[in-house]
Amino acid sequence: MEFKFDKNGNRDFLVKAKVAIIVGYFYQNIGDKLLSAAQETLARYGINVNNINVFYAPGAFEIPLLAKKLASQQLSGKNLYDGIVALGAVINGETTHFEFICNECARGVADVSYQYEIPTAFGILTTNNMEQTIGRAGGYKGNKGEEATMAMIEMLYLMQQVDTQTF
């Protein structure tokens, strides 16, 4: 048996889902473009707009802590959020600061997924310059906000399939 999310046949998949989006707001205009694409993607799969909570972190380094706090929230013994999408941008400068921020952000977001088994998507752009960043926030390379949100949706689907499979 194969398990794969049908992008055309699951337009109401998120009807009952609750999703948190974290936006690293150091580059506000980039964060806005990534967020807009993420919200549009969630809407495409039927989420109730009231079931999307958006949190603004000062920058990429702070995103994992906020993601961990959101993932740990429970309501009646069940995870409050079905999925988390982390968005933002880190642009390479003249020092090694870029590597430290990117590595810790990526590791932290991945750790949240592993620790809480909640699909937590990494939509933080890690680029060499502003041109590359703009290109990935709705420009010539698409919008990574949409791609990260789609990854979260597909993982949510797969996690549900794993939980309910029988032989």
pLDDT digits (tens, 9 = 90+) for 69-91: 999 999 999 999 999 999 999 99
Q: State yes or no: is 97 an active-site residue.
A: yes
Query: Mean of the per-residue pLDDT values for the chain?
Result: 95
pLDDT above 70 covers a percentage of the chain that reads: 99
Does the pLDDT value for residue 112 go beyond 90? yes
pLDDT per residue as tens digits for the range 11-68: 899 999 999 999 999 999 999 999 999 999 999 999 999 999 999 999 999 999 999 9
- What is the fold, at CATH topology level, of the domain defined by 16-147+154-164? Rossmann fold (3.40.50)
Buried b or exposed e, range 29-51, using 16+ CB within 10 angstroms: ebbbbbbebbbebbebbebeeeb
Q: What is the pLDDT of residue 164?
A: 86
The answer to whether 127 is annotated as binding is: no
pLDDT per residue as tens digits for the range 134-157: 999 999 999 999 999 999 999 999
Q: What is the pLDDT of residue 136?
A: 97
Does the pLDDT value for residue 97 go beyond 80? yes
The answer to whether 124 is annotated as binding is: no
Q: What is the pLDDT of residue 8?
A: 87
Which residue of the set 11, 69, 97, 107 is catalytic?
97
The answer to whether 61 is annotated as binding is: yes
